[in-house]
Structure 1
Amino acid sequence: MTSIKKIFLLFVVATFMLSCSNKNTKVAELLIPQPAQTEVKSGSFNYETPSVYFTNVSDTDKNNLLELIKGIYPEATEATEEDASGVIRISQTGDSTLTPESYRLNIARKSIDIEAIDFGGLIYAIQTVAQLHYLAEEGIPCMQITDTPRFAYRGMHIDVSRHFFSVEFIKKQLDVMSFYKMNRLHWHLTDGAGWRIEIKQYPRLTSFAAWRPYNNWKEFWFGERLYCDQNDPKAKGGYYTQEDVKDVIAYAQKLNITIIPEIEIPGHSDEVLAAYPEYSCKGKPYTSGEMCIGNENTYTFLTNILSEVCELFPSEYIHIGGDEADHKNWKECKKCQTIISKQGLENEHELQSYLVQRIEKFLNSKGKQMIGWDEIIDGGLSPNATVMAWRGEAGGIKAAQMGHDAIMTPGNWLYFDAYQDNPATEPEAIGGYLPLSRVYSYEPVPDSLTVEEKSHIIGVQANLWTEYIQTEDHAEYMMYPRLLALSELCWCKAEAKNWDRFLPAANRHLDILKAKGINAHQISNSVIATEVVDMEKQTIELSFRCDKMPVEIRYTQDGTVPTIESTLYKKPISVKDSAIVKVAIFQNGERITEVQTFTPLYHKAIGKKVSYNIPHCSHYVAKGEATLTDGYNGGASYGDGSWQGFNKDVDVVLDMGEVVTIKEIEVNFMQQAGPWIWFPEYVDIYMSEDAEVWRKVKHIDNDVPRDTEGMLIKNFGFTGDEACRYIRYTAHQLPKEGAYMFIDEIKIK
């Protein structure tokens, strides 16, 4: 062979090897969660009937692992020879460099080697192989992976009280959770809408409190809130027998998932007290959702229930809820007030803490640790309790600073009952807006904590509350693909997260979820616009993105419909005063979406001063006094930082700085009946030259019914031709205790 031929042959081989390596790299980047360390090699493992050789693995674990492998390779068998071709070698090692649930995975052309120090690590290595089997065109790409989780607690919560879901559904979610390396299912078994677990000592909890004459939670909750006997022809609901519970727990254990039960106390107990009213303060059914803490029999009742729960669940944690308890009945109850006096308690917060601490001692006596929502901090935290922070991060931060473990599950980031796309096109949800990108952007460990305090943030959890979720298909629609983002929050270090890598992977995993029979929400192919206001330049920078991939964004600024010849979006568009930008998505040379129109406006009130005659709500401050003239429109979530909330009337004064001619005033309100956000009853707009003498220029009555479903946005504004310096804008709230109004901006043209 001539030298030239040799060089050419070497070049061909090198090119082929590089091509294979690049192909394998692309597949590796699609893994979710992304492994900690990956070294990609050329070639692939192409055996479809491998044998499996175990070292130092118990018989029980062997059976479970082999069953999981057969989900990838149905013809796989246990090997008797370690060095056979096409072998998968699985070793439970004592290697001290490996930590719990971590693993080493080496995929070569003729073998796959898996090492871990525990069952969890072995499971997750196999799940990585399973993902690669789905993702690769053929075979398993050769690579070496060393992987370890960031958090020990990686959780998903499912509420089965508001709407009951089957054992088969729960098992199906466990399968997918394990596939994405989640290891805790928080099973919300009891709440005011229904009791869902058999307690043999108290049969009315399942013969009565588990049933209601309406399937739809909204009909139940906004109606008479009645329960009914199981044999009532109208009965809707259900419960899990203790055998069901054992079955689910055993299934979860095979997947390295721990089931944590939640038994809600002392609030959210309407169903309990309808069945056993003697444990309420008034001793009558349908009078309270809070148990009587002053009644010693309440403790006997609770400890009897928890004894059966502790016996059923091997989890170290038992969740006792502890959230949103109404103190009204305790304030009026002689027994509760007697306990406050005898125990030297300051108030009803400390009364609840007194109950929680007694329950914790009981759980500790059963070898269990107590976990609860962050309200358990309010009256003084129990000695060994773990806190779930849901009211933002404050509860988790406070717990960590006190030396307690905390699990981060803040509603604005991790409540999967919120809308994940445009509410106008989505099934009705309770409110909020939580797209995939926002879930992925969450960082669970606050910078404000010290290194020692950060060690107490032991995990992350997302919650699926089901008030507005009646069916199992709808539940899956809300969980996925957001659970994929959750898995990377839980598993990957903060610096390893990369949205630009994750998004193509999430798009690809939609096919995997479909293959698994999951009714996942499809990543939107709508254009998502972001505006950045520059007050110095007096411009708005408009940028676009689309989460559906791969696609092109094309746009026009002359009012015409975008075509394949229109400008390809590559960088933000700068708008000086106003613009009409039409945008569409293209794929393979064809437009695949409706045209979307965006109208950025640098309006005349941006940066002007607003004074508040009635303060805004302290819970929804947005950007404070700058909110209403900062140039930013509110989005689909009232909690996005651009909507300002009012739990009283709106009464604000805008100072334009000088007398100007007003052609138009635009003020948008949001309405979402679920979280009690409504349009105003009416609006009055006044103008003045000196802020002393006012003239009314507009009165607007609301014509939208309060019970209208969905998320609505409506302008309560003005058009005309008026000269003034000051504008006073007032909005009268509907007479409903606990209601809110939300506005985002006062736009002046």
Structure 2
Amino acid sequence: MTVEQKKHILGGQANLWAEYIPTPEHSEYMLFPRLAALAEVVWTPDDQLEWKDFSVRVQKLMDRFEIMGINYAKSAYGIQPESEINLETGEVTVSLEAEFPDVEIKYAFGDAELTANANIYREPLKIDSSTSLKAAVFENGKLLGLTMNKSYVFHKAVAKPVEYKFPYNENYNGGGKTGLVDVLRGSKYFKDGRWQGWINRPAVVTINLEEPLDVNQVIVGSLEEQGTGIYFPESIQVEVSEDGMNYRTVGNLPRKFQSNPGAKIENFTIKFEPQNNISFVRVTAVPLKENPTGGGSWLFLDEIEIK
């Protein structure tokens, strides 16, 4: 709307539909502290809205919720990792932050426990080998919110050159030309920037390993959210070559369509007899041919691991 039209807006309201909310405690979780955020937005002039100031005040309000026994959501304490890979070194840099600024984040790698005595996050973390990373917000030794747990799997194709027979959709480019070999995985939110998408076309991806290697397994990460037209592949084929010209098929994974009401991530594993001195691997993921609701079928991939 225009600025003039906006002057006619008298206020706002919060609606909560309860058909999937079975208890009062669940209702409280959905409402608080969102009601405080709504009040801040509708009662505060636009030029005075400031997230950092509000975040300090709402955390004090959360202390009141504790005393009142309100089951409020702590999602703003959740860790939001940002990762990028150096294609020359194959090293991943991970930055950690929560929605609330100036909180204490602690982290632990691998099997180490995440406790109040864990390392304090002060600067971006460097990762150059397979590991898992746990992180959470702490205050006075107490864990706040949920613990982030992410895995980083380094494999034989990391940061290697990739060629595509059919280009991915420009709106879903998932990190660009090396997005399928950058260790960085997508979430169940298909717009998170980590997914590469094709519609009504197969993903035919050729990875140049740049040296002869022994391979016996390929893992393809895929997303399904049938409500938005995103489906798991109907089949995945793996071919290998020593010279990049003559390929032979070493694995084929067919998959029958299954109804799935929610978003789901699956790692499809294709194992095959060990292949020696392989320099090129070609993966073909075929989208669902017939969308049961009509329209096109999207295929979303985030990583191709070669082992």
TM-score of Structure 1 vs Structure 2, range by shorter chain: 0.7 to 0.9
CA contact (8 A) 2:212 2:279 kept: yes
Deviation at 1:670, TM superposition (A): 0.5
Distance 1:534 1:565 in 2: 31
Deviation at 1:712, TM superposition (A): 0.8
Distance 1:742 1:258, change over 3 A: closer
Deviation at 1:499, TM superposition (A): 4.9
Say whether 1:613 aligns with 2:171.
Answer: no
1:616-669 CA distances to partner (integer Å, 9 max, x unpaired)?
A: 234433444343234432233211222111112222212222322235433210
1:722 corresponds in structure 2 to: 275
Deviation at 1:601, TM superposition (A): 4.0
Distance 1:568 1:675, change over 3 A: same
Q: State the AA in 2 paired with 1:541.
A: T
1:640 corresponds in structure 2 to: 192
CA contact (8 A) 1:609 1:656 kept: yes
Deviation at 1:506, TM superposition (A): 4.7
Q: Give the match's secondary structure for 2:266.
A: strand
Identity %, equivalent residues: 23
Distance 1:551 1:602 in 2: 31
- Higher RCO, Cα 8 Å, sep 6+: 2
CA contact (8 A) 1:480 1:520 kept: no
Distance 2:177 2:146 in 1: 37
Which of 219, 222, 231 is the aligned partner of 1:666?
A: 219
Q: Give the match's secondary structure for 1:674.
A: helix
5+ residue gaps in structure 2? 22-26
Q: Give the match's secondary structure for 2:56.
A: helix
Normalised to the residue count of structure 1, the TM-score between the two structures is 0.33
Deviation at 1:535, TM superposition (A): 2.5
1:689 corresponds in structure 2 to: 242
Q: State the AA in 1 paired with 2:231.
A: W
2:135 corresponds in structure 1 to: 583
2:232 corresponds in structure 1 to: 679
Distance 2:81 2:130 in 1: 15
Aligned length: 289
5+ residue gaps in structure 1? 1-149, 155-181, 185-255, 260-463
1:529 corresponds in structure 2 to: 81
Distance 2:260 2:32 in 1: 22
Q: CA RMSD in A?
A: 4.3
1:567-589 CA distances to partner (integer Å, 9 max, x unpaired)?
A: 22222221122333333443432
As a proportion of its length, which structure holds more helix? Answer: 1
Distance 2:96 2:145 in 1: 15
Which of 555, 562, 565 is the aligned partner of 2:117?
A: 565
CA contact (8 A) 1:540 1:602 kept: no
CA contact (8 A) 1:525 1:585 kept: yes
CA contact (8 A) 2:230 2:299 kept: yes
Distance 2:228 2:33 in 1: 20
Deviation at 1:702, TM superposition (A): 3.1
2:24 corresponds in structure 1 to: none
1:2-56 CA distances to partner (integer Å, 9 max, x unpaired)?
A: xxxxxxxxxxxxxxxxxxxxxxxxxxxxxxxxxxxxxxxxxxxxxxxxxxxxxxx
Say whether 1:743 aligns with 2:294.
Answer: no
Q: Give the match's secondary structure for 2:212.
A: strand
Q: State the AA in 1 paired with 2:164.
A: Y
Say whether 1:650 aligns with 2:203.
Answer: yes
CA contact (8 A) 1:477 1:519 kept: no
Deviation at 1:740, TM superposition (A): 0.8
- Listed as ranges, the matches of 1:208-607 within 5 Å are 256-257=10-11, 480=34, 484=38, 487=41, 492=46, 499-508=51-60, 522-547=74-99, 552-557=104-109, 559-591=111-143, 596-607=148-159
1:447-492 CA distances to partner (integer Å, 9 max, x unpaired)?
A: xxxxxxxxxxxxxxxxx9x9x9857969x7599469659949x964
Q: Give the match's secondary structure for 2:55.
A: helix
CA contact (8 A) 1:507 1:523 kept: no
Distance 1:608 1:503 in 2: 42
Deviation at 1:679, TM superposition (A): 0.8
CA contact (8 A) 2:33 2:62 kept: no
CA contact (8 A) 1:633 1:744 kept: yes
Q: Give the match's secondary structure for 1:611.
A: strand
Distance 1:581 1:660 in 2: 29
Distance 2:226 2:214 in 1: 37
CA contact (8 A) 2:166 2:203 kept: yes
Distance 1:731 1:568, change over 3 A: same
CA contact (8 A) 1:481 1:510 kept: no
Normalised to the residue count of structure 2, the TM-score between the two structures is 0.73
Tell which structure's C-alpha radius of gyration is larger.
1
Deviation at 1:546, TM superposition (A): 3.1
CA contact (8 A) 2:222 2:265 kept: yes
Distance 1:730 1:639, change over 3 A: same
2:287 corresponds in structure 1 to: 733
Q: Give the match's secondary structure for 2:131.
A: coil
Distance 2:203 2:195 in 1: 13
